[in-house]
A and B are shown apart, each in its own frame.
Chain A
């Protein structure tokens, strides 16, 4: 187990290094003089001097990377010359909103996927299973940006339910009820994609597990169907579920960006799009770095949980 964790940690570190190189290099994708593009309207000799010092733009590329990396490791993501605020503090303000949104959507997705997958697996190809199968397949083909647009159209505009439309976001600290109301539609939208994935993965694994001999053995002890499902079948069937949940987080962020942008929820996605539109490249770079590392770390944590759930994996 320990060896496994160490090996994964080394891999994690390698991936983070690659991500940092990629994020660093983004600046050099900009056409022409990067300094001119980054500074934008703030292109004064004084600002230019600050930027050169901050990024080491007059030094060789490799040196630039290490200067940049040292700053990042000290929590210094630079100062945006567009908004005159520190990139780090902007990210710190936005990040919790994404975390809340993702947490809410995942709770919804699991709460729906687990019992429905169990229901389907109890009688594969039964009427309930067929209906759920067809329904989930259809949902699979509706992109989240269409779902959110339609939900806003029906619920916020046609039905006029308050605190659900664009720009209704309030921070959790200000008024947590309105906060939850304003996050209902986005969380629901993000949950649908995850639900379809989790339902399908868990269903097929449960069906396979329920045919195992140890399930028959558990039945022969006189244990109820319900207890067998939860205590005996669920855990060995949840490895692929957790794996796909970990991988799903990356895709969830992208859908989350769109949803935030549409409803003007000031999370990382909204901030990112605003930064792209304002050509605030240091902010874009900072967000890309934080999000990428975040996704990789979440993946790693899921891997870790999988090992606890199924002790067979790390023993291999």
Chain B
């Protein structure tokens, strides 16, 4: 990770106050993303990925939520910043793509208006200029006959088209950092690859950094430079993507890898399910959150939480008392 980081997250913790007590959705997460880098964040649903993304943006509602630590976006702190301050960063510095294109667009507003609104409000463009630019953007994200689609309502578009519109709206002001929160989960499998390739392509053309959040390791394998594996609100393994895939040390990472299909495997290979269930964050004990599901867990794992190790020469770190060695992998 060279140069000045574009995004620097330090010891970020987000705790919800719920009827059942404090719920630590994100705990002590730290990482950095440099210019033109792509970071993948992987974890099961419930591991705190979405909360992390929204907290980086500063979009997490403030009521009954405690956020501590620091998030610096191109030098500006977003934790504790007012919405007025954040508004200056949104769209131009950082933008976000949301999980479900079915709910992310205003159903009673023409899609073109939802794109050029950003241009007019944030960049002060005139109405005709914004419209022309919006049509350009629609074309850029691969929407056929963009001038007609400009006037369509979201309900008249397919899921894939809607997600393209969402992307076009997010990129309208050419943000330096794009947070993509499960951008393909709500889409058909055949459309998923198209959208991911589009994002990849746009990232290079617009010189953006991207944080790609997903539960699907297959998605991040070839499209990210770095990878963070999250479990129960914490980063449990971090490193260069190739490194993590090849030399993962954390049993959870291995479990994740084994549970996703790989082309290299002979067909009809049984996928290994991860035993047990994701932990209840309200009742986390002192030990490693993965210990109850881990084949390698010993007494220590149940009473003492392993810290994230200092990065090795390649920048690879992990949180485990019994890391996998080359032989056991």
Which residues of A are interface residues toward B (Cβ below 8 A)? 212-214, 216-225, 227, 231-232, 235-236, 309-312, 315
**How far, in whole Å, are A219 and B121 apart by their CA atoms in the complex?**
12
B83 interfacial contact with A, CB 8 Å: yes
Measured between C-beta atoms, what is the minimum distance from A26 to chain B in Å? 43
**Binding site of A, secondary structure by majority: helix, strand, loop or mixed?**
helix
**How far, in whole Å, are A212 and B98 apart by their CA atoms in the complex?**
12
Cβ < 8 Å to A, chain B residues 78-111: 83, 86-92, 95-96, 98, 100, 103-109
Measured between C-beta atoms, what is the minimum distance from B65 to chain A in Å? 14
**How far, in whole Å, are A302 and B155 apart by their CA atoms in the complex?**
22
Please indicate the chain B residues that have their CB under 8 angstroms from the CB of A312 in the complex: 107-108, 153, 155
B121 pairs with A222, CB closer than 8 A: yes
A222 pairs with B108, CB closer than 8 A: no
Known: A220-B59, A231-B117. A236 touches B106 (CB 8 A): yes
Q: How many A-B residue pairs have CB under 8 A?
A: 76
B118 interfacial contact with A, CB 8 Å: yes
Interface-central residue, A214, A222, A231, by most chain B CB under 10 Å: A222
B109 pairs with A213, CB closer than 8 A: no
Return the contact of A220 from the options B88, B95, B105, B117 (Cβ within 8 A): B95
B207 interfacial contact with A, CB 8 Å: no
- Per-residue CB contact flags for chain B residues 162-178 toward chain A (1 = under 8 Å, else 0) read 00001001101000000
A216-B98, A232-B106 given; name 14 further pairs at CB < 8 Å. Answer: A214-B103, A214-B106, A218-B106, A221-B90, A221-B118, A221-B122, A222-B87, A222-B91, A231-B109, A231-B117, A235-B108, A236-B106, A310-B107, A315-B155
Q: Can you name 23 A-B residue pairings with CB atoms under 8 Å?
A: A213-B100, A214-B105, A214-B106, A214-B107, A216-B98, A217-B96, A217-B166, A219-B83, A220-B96, A221-B90, A221-B170, A222-B118, A222-B121, A223-B87, A223-B118, A223-B121, A225-B83, A235-B109, A236-B106, A236-B108, A309-B108, A312-B153, A315-B155
Cβ < 8 Å to A, chain B residues 252-280: none
**How far, in whole Å, are A139 and B56 apart by their CA atoms in the complex?**
46
Please indicate the chain B residues that have their CB under 8 angstroms from the CB of A231 in the complex: 109, 117
**How far, in whole Å, are A311 and B83 apart by their CA atoms in the complex?**
32
B103 pairs with A222, CB closer than 8 A: no
List the B residue with the shortest CB-CB distance to A227: B121
Please indicate the chain B residues that have their CB under 8 angstroms from the CB of A309 in the complex: 108
Return the contact of A213 from the options B83, B88, B103 (Cβ within 8 A): B103
Please indicate the chain B residues that have their CB under 8 angstroms from the CB of A236 in the complex: 106-108
**How far, in whole Å, are A213 and B87 apart by their CA atoms in the complex?**
18
- Per-residue CB contact flags for chain B residues 304-326 toward chain A (1 = under 8 Å, else 0) read 00000000000000000000000
| Residue count of chain B within 8 Å CB distance of chain A | 31
**How far, in whole Å, are A231 and B106 apart by their CA atoms in the complex?**
10
List the A residue with the shortest CB-CB distance to B95: A220
**How far, in whole Å, are A235 and B59 apart by their CA atoms in the complex?**
23
Return the contact of A311 from the options B86, B91, B122, B155 (Cβ within 8 A): B155
Measured between C-beta atoms, what is the minimum distance from A124 to chain B in Å? 11
- Per-residue CB contact flags for chain B residues 115-153 toward chain A (1 = under 8 Å, else 0) read 001100110000000000000000000000000000001
Please indicate the chain B residues that have their CB under 8 angstroms from the CB of A217 in the complex: 96, 98, 104-105, 166, 169
Measured between C-beta atoms, what is the minimum distance from B131 to chain A in Å? 16
Measured between C-beta atoms, what is the minimum distance from A104 to chain B in Å? 29
B91 pairs with A221, CB closer than 8 A: yes
**How far, in whole Å, are A121 and B57 apart by their CA atoms in the complex?**
24
**How far, in whole Å, are A315 and B100 apart by their CA atoms in the complex?**
21
Please indicate the chain A residues that have their CB under 8 angstroms from the CB of B107 in the complex: 214, 236, 310, 312
A221 pairs with B117, CB closer than 8 A: yes
Measured between C-beta atoms, what is the minimum distance from A98 to chain B in Å? 33
List the B residue with the shortest CB-CB distance to A238: B108
**How far, in whole Å, are A266 and B96 apart by their CA atoms in the complex?**
61
**How far, in whole Å, are A311 and B96 apart by their CA atoms in the complex?**
27
Please indicate the chain A residues that have their CB under 8 angstroms from the CB of B122 in the complex: 221-222
A222 pairs with B92, CB closer than 8 A: yes
**How far, in whole Å, are A221 and B121 apart by their CA atoms in the complex?**
9
Measured between C-beta atoms, what is the minimum distance from A180 to chain B in Å? 36
**How far, in whole Å, are A214 and B87 apart by their CA atoms in the complex?**
16
Return the contact of A223 from the options B89, B108, B117 (Cβ within 8 A): B117
